[in-house]
Chain A
Amino acid sequence: MLRVEETQAPVEFSPELISKFDDVKSRYPAGKQKSALLPILHLVQAEFGWLSAAAMDKVAGYLQIQDIEVYEVATFYSMYFLNPKGKYVLEVCRTGPCCLVGAEKIMDYLEEKLGVKEGEVTADGLFSWRGVECLAACGFGPVLQIGPEYTFYENLTKDSVDKLIKDLKEKGKN
């Protein structure tokens, strides 16, 4: 559900971000700028980590569409976060083929290792994890991805998960 967080501060879009929006908008015929909505929401989420109502309203203003048209889209698709998440969101495929090769064990291990339940954020703000549906990498399961560039980690084992989390902790400090 879409909930307007009380803590939502107004957002500013930098000129660089706006110029990326402009580039996206130029891909469609005149009058069809609404097509830019999904790509622009990805750009906003890459910048701020999630989509606040304030940010969505600003996108609506930019595309000259109603606020509700943005909310409709943001709530429909699974990739958009409507509340703050950890800096790294580990998204593990939980669909059939990956479960044949141990995806459920990897999710259990993440829960144990990070000490948070699916969708929650670790105390240091670094990590969230969740199960997602088939990522079109079924032959290389278990797999997980991390946005905003959606880097893939394939053939996961407990050891490779340990290493990944260690590396991300290092990186996350900076």
Chain B
Amino acid sequence: MARKLLLEHINVPGINTFDVYRSKGGYAAVEKALKTMSPDDVVEEVKKSGLRGRGGAGFPTGMKWSFLAKPEGVARYLVCNADESEPGTFKDRYLMTYIPHLLIEGMIAASFALGAKISYIYVRGEMMPQIRILEKAIAEAKNAGFLGKNILGTGYDLELYVQPGGGAYICGEETALLESLEGKRGNPRIKPPFPAIAGLYGCPTVVNNVESIAAVVPIINEGGDEYAKVGIGRSTGTKLISAGGNVKKPGVYEIDLGLPVEEFLYSDEYCGGIANGKRLKAVVAGGSSVPILPANLFLKTIKNEPRLMSYESLSDGGFVSGTMMGSGGFIAFDEDQCIVRNTWNFSRFYHHESCGQCSPCREGTGWMEKVLHRLEHGHGKMSDMDLLVDVSKKIEGNTICPLGDAAAWPVASAIRHFRDEFEWHVSHGAEAVTRNFGLAHYADPLPQPETVA
């Protein structure tokens, strides 16, 4: 790729310290924004950049910011979502560990744009080392006059705090996160009202992912139009992808959106192919919540076009033959992996993490886990697959928050694309516990689409 916008300096020794970060041009975006731009100018640049939220939903960040209510005399808040709990996703932890000042710089510029005087970074409690790193970075930035009262003599005041969570995936959902930040259980709120109107302490609030906030720094430095030149179509800029599972070189990669998935998977610059000389069986492209695809459908769309790492291309085919960008949690499955077992594991996860407020999610996730458990352990019935699809449909769209959908999609897609493997588990009973279905036809080239005259 041409240039990295977020991780360009990640390998510079000492880049985690204020002085080295500053010497590499760090905090220039704060100087530019606070000294030469109005808050609305900053919002305008972010709009022009086309940046879409990197937390999973892909909602345009500039638009979200412009929805923020601004009643006279009422405080407004910016809250950074550093809960990062979506299985397969580990990019925010990486960014905060190695280049924490990028997040702090983005938080200052974004808080200025939104008119926030107090901002919080909500970090999952398990990331205690990252919390310490951020606290140190905040102290350094404050010491240098980039936080606190009258920042850089511009009259803008900002306090920035790090808040630990208590261990709960659901607190990544933005309204659950706000409940948690208020010192309560992480039960998602019924929307509307949206946080832009009534968020933290009932005040207008913007919640953004770590990577979205970090991206504000290059957007201010380069200008929104320049940022939008990177990427493809409505997928502008760069994206951090956390690659895990059975790839040869797991890790966090910054890619230009629009990179062909084949290049991402097999080139030495990125994943370097599948580990141990094995073949690819399936991919979950955007964190555990997005539909799983067999290798053939992942590499090429149903129209037999090469698939790209972009919001549009990954979702090409909708839920029938596509998936989603999600949070960029890329999980590769090699030929030895069992789809039934993984689906059961994911179901267990969602059942465990359901907050329990709505019955379709609370009961449905438990039911799916139970049925998948019996399938995986050789006690399944042929009717179980239809039962699972049925339960997943009853959850989808019938809950307060999207966790219900996130639990339903992996199950529905696994059965859609790997039904013969599920059936094999039923017909082979005990044998399926010790032997693996294998790669089967999931990596074969797709049949050519019929040409319609």
Contacts and interface: CB of A to CB of B under 8 A. Distances in A.
Contact of A78 (B128, B163, B167, B246): B167
Contact of A38 (B93, B163, B346): B163
Contacts of A100: 244-246, 331, 333-334, 337, 342
B90 A80 contact: no
A138 B252 CA distance: 10
Interface string A85-129: 000000000111101110000000000000000000000000000
Interface string B313-350: 00000000000000001010110010001100110010
Given A133-B87, A150-B129, A139 B244 contact: yes
Interface stretch (A1-9, A10-18, A29-37, A157-165): A29-37
A65 B183 CA distance: 11
A139 B90 contact: yes
A42 to B, nearest CB: 6
A73 interface: yes
A56 to B, nearest CB: 13
B244 A133 contact: no
B201 A32 contact: yes
Contact of B88 (A72, A134, A147): A134
Contact of B164 (A42, A72, A97, A151): A42
B135 to A, nearest CB: 11
A151 B182 CA distance: 27
B198 interface: no
Interface residues of B, number: 55
A69 B129 CA distance: 28
Interface string B227-250: 000000000000000111110001
B358 interface: no
A151 B342 contact: no
Among B127, B128, B183, B349, residue most surrounded by chain A Cβ atoms (within 10 Å): B183
Given A38-B180, A135-B126, A95 B166 contact: no
Interface string B177-219: 0001111111000000000000001000000000000000000
Contact of A151 (B129, B159, B333): B129
A140 B127 CA distance: 15
B97 to A, nearest CB: 10
Given A96-B288, A136-B93, A139-B252, A35 B86 contact: no
B352 interface: yes
Contacts, number: 153
A100 to B, nearest CB: 5
Contacts of B201: 29, 32
A69 B182 CA distance: 12
A137 interface: yes
B89 interface: yes
B349 A134 contact: yes
Nearest to A31: B201
Among A96, A100, A134, residue most surrounded by chain B Cβ atoms (within 10 Å): A96
A25 to B, nearest CB: 11
A38 B246 contact: no
B331 to A, nearest CB: 5
A170 interface: no
Interface bin, chain A: 35 or more
Interface in B149-193: 159, 161, 163-169, 180-186
Contacts of B75: 29
Contacts of B349: 95-96, 133-134
A136 B246 contact: no
A36 B243 CA distance: 35
B366 interface: no
Contacts of B222: none
B353 interface: yes
A79 B245 contact: no
B164 A38 contact: yes
Interface string B81-111: 0001111111011000000000000000000
Given A95-B345, A100-B246, A134-B349, A76 B87 contact: no
Contact of A72 (B185, B245, B346): B185
A22 B93 CA distance: 28
B26 interface: no
A96 B331 contact: yes
Contacts of B127: 136, 150
Contacts of B331: 96-97, 100, 138
8 contacts: A38-B165, A77-B167, A97-B245, A134-B87, A135-B126, A139-B244, A141-B244, A150-B127
Given A35-B163, A42-B125, A149-B128, 11 more contacts: A34-B182, A77-B125, A77-B168, A78-B167, A97-B245, A100-B333, A136-B90, A138-B242, A150-B126, A150-B129, A151-B129
Interface of A: 27, 29, 32, 34-39, 41-42, 63, 65, 69, 72-73, 76-80, 94-97, 99-101, 132-141, 145, 147-152
Sorted nearest first, the 9 A-B pairs with minimum C-beta distance are A77-B166, A139-B250, A79-B167, A34-B183, A37-B183, A78-B167, A150-B128, A138-B244, A134-B87
